[in-house]
C-alpha cells in the first residue's frame, strides 16, 4: 500500500467512528450531569460512613457551583476539616444543580453520628434541561437517584 491509500483508510475510519459516537453515544452535557449526580451521591454516602466512624456531625454545603463539608465541633462551631476529602468540590460547568427552594442561594444537608440525614432533594441537569435527574435523600440515610 502507498502512503496515500493508508491515509485515506485512516480518514474514512475516523469519519465512521465520529458519526458512530455522535449517533449512539451521549458524551455531552447530559452525561456530565449524570456523572455529577452519581459522584455527589457517592460522596454523601461516604460522609455518612465517616460520621458513623468518627461519631461526629457533618454538614454538606451545596451551591450551584460546587459543595464542601464542614464538621460540628463542640456543638457550637462549624469547621472545615483539613483532609483532602472535605475540600471544595466543583460541579462541571455544563451541569446545572438546583433544589426545590429556588430563591435560596445554597442548600445544606446535615448528617449526624447515627447515620441520619436531613431529608433533601437536589435536581441535576443542564442549562436547557435543568431537571434531568433527581437525587432524593431520606432521613434514614437512604439516597435514591432517578430520572426526573
In this predicted structure, the answer to whether residue 26 has a pLDDT above a threshold of 60 is no
**Structural domains in the chain?**
29-147 (3.55.40.10)
Task: Give which of 99, 145, 132 is closest to 31, Cα–Cα.
Answer: 132
The predicted model scores a pTM of: 0.78
Mean pLDDT lowest for which of 17-26, 28-37, 91-100, 114-123?
A: 17-26
The predicted-structure confidence for 91-148, as pLDDT tens digits, reads as follows: 988 889 999 987 788 999 999 999 899 999 999 999 888 899 999 999 998 999 998 7
The phi and psi torsions of 84 (rounded to 5 degrees) equal -60, -30
Residue 128: the pLDDT is 87
Residue with cell 457533618: 58
Which pLDDT band, with edges at 50, 70 and 90, does 17 fall under?
confident
Amino acid at each position: 500500500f502507498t502512503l496515500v491509500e493508508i491515509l485515506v483508510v485512516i480518514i474514512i475510519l475516523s469519519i465512521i467512528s465520529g458519526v458512530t459516537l455522535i449517533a449512539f453515544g451521549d458524551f455531552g452535557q447530559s452525561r456530565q450531569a449524570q456523572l455529577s449526580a452519581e459522584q455527589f451521591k457517592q460522596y454523601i454516602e461516604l460522609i455518612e460512613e465517616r460520621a458513623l466512624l468518627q461519631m461526629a456531625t457533618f454538614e454538606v454545603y451545596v451551591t450551584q457551583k460546587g459543595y464542601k463539608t464542614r464538621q460540628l465541633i463542640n456543638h457550637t462551631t462549624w469547621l472545615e476539616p483539613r483532609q483532602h476529602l472535605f475540600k471544595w468540590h466543583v460541579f462541571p460547568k455544563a451541569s446545572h444543580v438546583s433544589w426545590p427552594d429556588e430563591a435560596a442561594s445554597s442548600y445544606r444537608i446535615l448528617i449526624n453520628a447515627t447515620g441520619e440525614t436531613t431529608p433533601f432533594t437536589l435536581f441535576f441537569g443542564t442549562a436547557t434541561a435543568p431537571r434531568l435527574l433527581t437525587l432524593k435523600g431520606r432521613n434514614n440515610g437512604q439516597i435514591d437517584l432517578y430520572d426526573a
